[in-house]
Amino acid sequence: MEKKSKKLVNGKDKWVRPALEIGGILAFVWATMIFMFLVIEEFVVPITEDDFSSSESFLRSLVQVGISGGLAAGWLYFWHLLTSVYVQKVGKILRKT
């Protein structure tokens, strides 16, 4: 089984390795997105009328959207960073060999 999977990665099917590596990045990015939703659910959604008076409901929504938007932007930057690190690392390994 191990031999077979090794052959799949290093042997004839050379396309599997980059696909699995990039797929791994996508899966990790997805997991962080799910974590981001959990954080929003736990900390941002509960910002309710208790913290703001009814006349400040617009401000409350603005705070919620602002924090969620910031988290989403951070998540996108993380995705960008992760792929850049992958590209640089693999490039460096190849240059050394």
Where on the chain is the footprint of other proteins (CB under 8 A)? Answer: 13-20, 22-23, 26-27, 29-30, 33-34, 37-38, 40-41, 45, 65, 76, 79-80, 83, 86-87, 90-91, 94
Q: Which is nearer to other proteins, 10 or 53 (CB)?
A: 10
Q: Which is nearer to other proteins, 37 or 49 (CB)?
A: 37
Contact yes or no for 28/5 (Cβ under 8 A): no
Q: Which is nearer to other proteins, 29 or 63 (CB)?
A: 29
Minimum distance from residue 86 beta carbon to other proteins (Å) = 8
Minimum distance from residue 47 beta carbon to other proteins (Å) = 13
Q: Which is nearer to other proteins, 51 or 80 (CB)?
A: 80
**Separation between Cα atoms, residue 60 and residue 53, nearest integer Å:** 9
Q: How far is CA 47 from CA 37, 40, 52, in A?
A: 15, 10, 8
**Separation between Cα atoms, residue 44 and residue 56, nearest integer Å:** 16
Give CA torsion, residues 44, 55, 66, 39, to 10 deg: 0
